[in-house]
Amino acid sequence: MINYFVILMLLILLAKQITFIRKIQIRTKKSTFEIGVFSVALIALAVLTIFFAKGYMHYLIALTAASFLLINWMKQGLASSGLLIVSRGKEEYTWREISSAKIKTSDKINIDFFNTSGRRIASHSYDMKYDKDLMKLLRYNKVKVDVIKSV
């Protein structure tokens, strides 16, 4: 019975994460390190499932959990409603909660987001092909932007 409850809870969380994914306008660029850590986590989940699963329900739980991890990892980015992140227990910061952004450009765009009290909320990397869209979205939502160009 508890297995059904776990699957139900994971499916509810998965549906919530999918609603966040649909909102994303500009996705973050994942580093090689992030991809490596995520791959190791999925492999560890698969190994644990193979060795300790006792029935089809455990495999279904593992598959649902892996889907949840993947969707949760993919949901980072910028949406029309605000910043979508995976940290500090808060998944979405609205544009009213973000006062400024410090942008550093090189081969990719690194943005540090700050809340209204001046604390850094998150630091994300974005692909250079989104530079115009990023600036347009930030200025449209009245976020103070400081641009630092790296050589």
pLDDT at 17: 87
User: How many other C-beta atoms can be found within 10 angstroms of the C-beta atom of residue 109?
Assistant: 22
CA distance 60 to 7: 8
CB contact at 8 A, 135 and 122: no
Query: 49-95 pLDDT, tens per residue?
Result: 999 999 889 999 899 989 988 998 888 999 989 999 887 678 889 99
| Diameter of the chain measured on Cα atoms | 59
User: How many other C-beta atoms can be found within 10 angstroms of the C-beta atom of residue 14?
Assistant: 16
CB contact at 8 A, 126 and 47: no
Share of the chain above pLDDT 70, in %: 98
Structure-token pair, residue 25 = 């306008």
DSSP label at residue 142: T
Compute the mean pLDDT over every residue in the chain, rounded to the nearest whole number.
89
